[in-house]
Amino acid sequence: MILESKHAIALTGAGISTPSGIPDFRSPSYGLWARYDPFEVASLWGFREHPERFYDWSRSLIDTVRNARPNPAHIALARLEEAGYLYAIITQNIDSLHQKAGARRVIPVHGHVETATCLDCGAKYPIGEELWEMVKRGEIPRCPKCGGLLKPDVVLFGELLPYEELKAAQQEALLCDLMLVAGSSLMVMPAADLPLLAKKRGSKLILVNLQWTTVDGKADLVIREDVAKALPAIADLVLKGGARR
């Protein structure tokens, strides 16, 4: 299916980054929401009321994300993109590991931890070592211009997805003739609706996930395997079976 496609894209979720040591959110036993109330520590209204709770909760997570390295699944998708078999990678992850693996066209629909924005004046700042050291000391980062709260550019509960990224993701879902979904439970809207949007336009759908998803019944192929094993194997077969585009 990948070799025959003309415009294939990928959609990735938390499961593609767990082999890099980044915990997911929804696994019943070890997911982050099994231990924390998301509306208390990771909602926009919670952040405005008690930013210290957000930073206390997210400090170790962001530190893990900042120090994580791409795993074989990220590298496999970057290889497919570099060879011309993937036109875009839409990701629900905030870790920038696709970019670190070498992927060029990545659409992070849930934001990232590379920058932070002031909630009052809208000024944007890179999350460099100085700002991060402030967070690690337990301080609440504030805007140097107006003193407003600085929030990392990740999408919290109660926030809309970034418009340009969501628009680009929806356009890719409408254009693609194949969507490869890897490591996503497909439970979080509106990103979870992208495979259905693609199917309505006649796209083929491949799912690689250890757990069942609500979209399994609509997929052309479901692979129950660790993405860090399955995606490199898929990339090897595709690159062996076809010429570089």
Per-residue pLDDT tens over the stretch 56-67: 888 878 888 888
Q: Looking at domain 26-67+114-154, which CATH architecture does it have? A: 2-Layer Sandwich (3.30)
Q: Which residue ranges does the chain devote to CATH 3.40.50.1220?
A: 1-22+70-110+160-245
Residues of the chain with pLDDT below 50 are 26-34
Residues serving a catalytic function are: 110
Please write down the long-range contacts of 45-53, taking CB distance under 8 Å and 24 or more positions apart. 45/158, 46/156, 46/157, 47/149, 47/151, 47/156, 48/119, 48/149, 51/140, 51/149, 51/151, 52/138, 52/140
User: Which CATH topology does 1-22+70-110+160-245 take?
Assistant: Rossmann fold (3.40.50)
Cβ atoms of 33 and 157 within 8 Å: the answer is no
- Global confidence as pTM: 0.89
pLDDT number for residue 86? 97
Reported as a single tens digit per residue, the pLDDT across 186-208 is 888 888 899 999 999 999 999 99
